[in-house]
Structures are given as structure tokens and as C-alpha cells.
């Protein structure tokens, strides 16, 4: 008697759940990358704003050209608006990231549930194969004993 191979009937469902989990993780990682990119942009614009502000302060101690000073102030205001827009975008992306984290956790739970179910079925299969093998061995031993006796 040759044992049949283990076949998990829900393997296709398990694969679908694994793929779904991987997709959700990729989306999550893209959002994390987007947050990092926005943080770098905010930092760069803040550095530029600080640089321009310091230049303005130096110009105030030197010769004061009203047009140049106004232009610098307008640029500083523009940079403030850019920073505010980037921070709003960052908040939106962070909210998306938090929602996606929940979706990803749920997908992971579903996949792990299927993994546990597969493991349970595999253990049951192995138990049954061992039981059948033991019955076969017992039959051989009994048959051999009967022949000798």
C-alpha cells in the first residue's frame, strides 16, 4: 500500500491570501516611502527658508534695497506656503498609511489562519499515515508469526 501525497484542498485560497498580503505590504511600503520623501522635502524647503531669512538679516545690516528685501520676503512667504502644503500632504499620507496598516494586518491574520489550518490538516494526515503504516506493520508481524507458529 503506497501512501497518497498530502494535498491541502484550500491551497488555492491560501495562495490568494498570500498574494493579497504581499500586495497590501507593497502598498504600505510605498506609503512609508512617500512619507520619507515628504519629510525630506519639508526639511529641504525649511533649510532654504532659513538660508533666505539669514540672507535678509545680513542685508538689513548692510545697504537696504527695498525691492530686493520685498522679493526675499515674498519668497519666504512662498516657502511657508510650500511647507504648509507639504505638511498637509504628509498628514494625508500618514492617515492613508495608518489605514493601510490595518488592512495589511487583517490580510496577515487571514493568511496565518490558512497557514494554521494547513498545518492542522497536515498533522492529521501524518497521524493517519502513521496509523495506517502501523496497521500494515502489525499485519506483517502477525502474518510472519502465524507462518512460523
User: What CA–CA distance (Å, rounded) separates 31 from 98?
Assistant: 9
Q: In 10 A of CB 82, how many CB atoms?
A: 16
- What is the full per-residue pLDDT of the chain (149 aa) written as tens digits? 556 788 888 899 999 999 999 999 999 999 999 999 999 999 999 999 999 888 877 776 666 677 787 888 899 999 999 999 999 999 999 999 999 999 999 999 999 999 999 999 999 999 999 999 999 988 888 887 777 76
For residue 19, what are the contacts with CB-CB under 8 A and spacing of at least 6?
none
CB contact set of 100 (below 8 Å; sequence gap of 6+): 24, 27, 28, 31
Amino acid at each position: 500500500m503506497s501512501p497518497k501525497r498530502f494535498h491541502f484542498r484550500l491551497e488555492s485560497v491560501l495562495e490568494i491570501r498570500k498574494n493579497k498580503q504581499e500586495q497590501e505590504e507593497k502598498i504600505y511600503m510605498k506609503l512609508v516611502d512617500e512619507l520619507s520623501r515628504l519629510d525630506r522635502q519639508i526639511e529641504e524647503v525649511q533649510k532654504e527658508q532659513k538660508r533666505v531669512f539669514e540672507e535678509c538679516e545680513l542685508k538689513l545690516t548692510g545697504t537696504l534695497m527695498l525691492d530686493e528685501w520685498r522679493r526675499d520676503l515674498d519668497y519666504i512667504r512662498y516657502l511657508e506656503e510650500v511647507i504648509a502644503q507639504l505638511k498637509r500632504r504628509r498628514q494625508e499620507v500618514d492617515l492613508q498609511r495608518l489605514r493601510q496598516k490595518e488592512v495589511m494586518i487583517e490580510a496577515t491574520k487571514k493568511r496565518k489562519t490558512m497557514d494554521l489550518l494547513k498545518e492542522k490538516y497536515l498533522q492529521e494526515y501524518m497521524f493517519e499515515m502513521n496509523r495506517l503504516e502501523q496497521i500494515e506493520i502489525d499485519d506483517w508481524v502477525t502474518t510472519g508469526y502465524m507462518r512460523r507458529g
